[in-house]
Structure 1
């Protein structure tokens, strides 16, 4: 089961409300990811910025490890239901924090071929700059 504390759910829901308000005004909404989910024994990684009213549909960047990260919706309950070998599950990176907007993550991830490689490149760039 993916642990999603109240404050993270609130931040994800607030982003969903903000995005809808921006779209109603014809503006573009772009925020930093609130959470990072990952497969502890594989390459699959998800960065989420929003949680829909249904409490299940997350919006963000999904990378299943095939070299082509995509933005879109994915289901929290479906990710929670994934059973991996050795009794493992999809996990939330509790130390994840980002100042980069989702669109920047998408651009870096697409160029690098994965969210994980983009994260490495961004970390190296921050250390050298």
Structure 2
């Protein structure tokens, strides 16, 4: 008699569980994030080990200054940049890196060579902002 009651309860429980699992699967497929920053392959692979030696990564070749300027001039309304950074010092390079990792298309314009003459300049803008954000998030300080 107990087996009959357990079968009556087991069948609806199985149907309900199957429907819930199918619904959860459909919701996951429908609402999962599609563009998660950082999931694509890195531009520079991590260093490897071959024959007991550390092998540094090979970096992609850098375009010449003239080619970079021509690329900026060729960009049209369809290939619009999201952010233009004037100055490629430590702060400008840090902001460009942060924006590029967030998926923005960034153009950096520098008068001289990138990061030339930045050793004497303060970069508290980037580091201080990160500290304020970190404190606001971890300590839940909404005033920050």
Q: Same fold (TM over 0.5)?
A: no
Query: Structure 1 length normalisation: TM-score?
Result: 0.22
Select the structure with the greater relative contact order (CA < 8 A; seq sep ≥ 6): 1
Greater helix content? 2
Query: Structure 2 length normalisation: TM-score?
Result: 0.21
Which structure is larger by alpha-carbon Rg, 1 or 2?
A: 2
